[in-house]
Amino acid sequence: MNSTSMSIGDRIRALRELRDITQEQLASRADVSVDTVRKLEQNIRQSARITTLRALARALDVQLERLVGQPTVSPQLSEDGGLLALRDSVQALNALPGVSFDTDPEDAPTERAFFDAVATATLAYWKGEYAQLSSTLPMLLRDGRAAAREHGTEQVWSRLALAYQLAASLSVQSGHPDWAFAAVERQLDAAHRASDPLLEGMAVSTLSWVLLRQGRWEQAATVAERKADELEPSFRRATPSQYAVYGNLLIAAATPTARHGDQDVAQQMLTAAEAAAVRSGPVRAYGTAFSVTDVRTQRVNVALTDPDTGAASALALAAGVDTTAISRPVHSASYRTDVAQAQQQTGDYQGALATLLEVEQDQPEWMRLQPSALATVRELLEAERRRSSGLRGLASRLGVDLTL
């Protein structure tokens, strides 16, 4: 059977048999019921809550993307870019010590041209224009390395760090966290060469997200929390950028902390992050944004990790989010996908479908790469005996099997 046509249950069974463990052993390792494993493998159930799928993936020692069959390629092809070109640029041979392999352009761009190109790429990422970005980012990284060799200023190194941050983020979104880890290594090196501790802090925030997507929850929380402690600002004389980096690190630490079962600690981290956001006001710095609204949307995401009251708590918290204050389109899509998951889990299937259709209309490229969105659609398909044309259409466009 082609892996792309396999159900989640087929993948679980194949991976379990490869690991030579029983259904009971898998259930114990994942801390889920044996009945859940059995029904998934028998295709009686076609999906499960995203928290359950994450636990099963972790117990099977695979990435979540492999378990749910997440698409890993852009629907558009490019002659001079794409995901494989991005991999080759991130894992550039000429960036390795002791290796002679010249693949970067001979003529470096001017500093201004490189700065403008990084700003354009950053905007494309936050607008969800992944196909366009995957075609331009490989050359941007090559140009950045050439600019660093030619000019070698701290400003060039700082922009190169931001370019690698984009490469790490796009690699994660497209289902390649191993490439993302390599990109973060380059990001951290460039940030160090830029002599900017806050830029290094943002690189650690990116690293935490990569580790989270690799299922390394404890490490993801630890690296972000330690860097936040290191960069904790003086609340009397801190700059907005200091608050922003500190707050982003707390947000990065809170998510894996909650998934590890420490909801109270995670909420304490977000409370500290919100206090920093109140003092800083809305900030755009280091390729990202930070505000009270950013923290509150993350509270919704963190609440969903509670297996008992998560969905209801998430919807209650969502009532306090000013959606008009969300400045980045991809962030808005991510938040609304969390809301749709909470709506589905509380039985508001029509509300969940309506929310997902709105997200798809705004961010079609982004949505088809999100395991949580795909899992919610599968749950909706399983719950509705009489499936609406809207749900069937959405499932078809996202590549979810309509025979569920």
Residue type, 175: G
Share of the chain above pLDDT 70, in %: 87
Residue type, 15: L
Residue 283's SS3 state is strand
With a threshold of 0.75, does the pTM exceed it?
Answer: yes
pLDDT band at 1 (very low <50, low <70, confident <90, very high): very low
Residue 256's SS3 state is helix
Rg (CA), the chain: 21
266 vs 360: CA distance, rounded Å? 30
Cα 188 to chain center, whole Å?
Answer: 19
Residue carrying the six token digits 């991809």: 330
Q: Which two tokens stand for residue 40?
A: 């998934």
Give the range among 33-42, 68-77, 190-199, 315-324 with minimum mean pLDDT. 68-77
Bigger pLDDT: 102 or 145? 145
Res. 2: pLDDT tops 80: no
Residue 81's SS3 state is coil
DSSP-derived secondary structure for 35-67: HHHHHHHTTSS----HHHHHHHHHHHTS-HHHH
Task: Give the model confidence (pLDDT) of 245-287 as tens digits.
Answer: 999 999 999 999 998 888 889 999 999 999 999 999 999 988 8
pLDDT at 68: 65
Residue carrying the six token digits 């972000």: 224
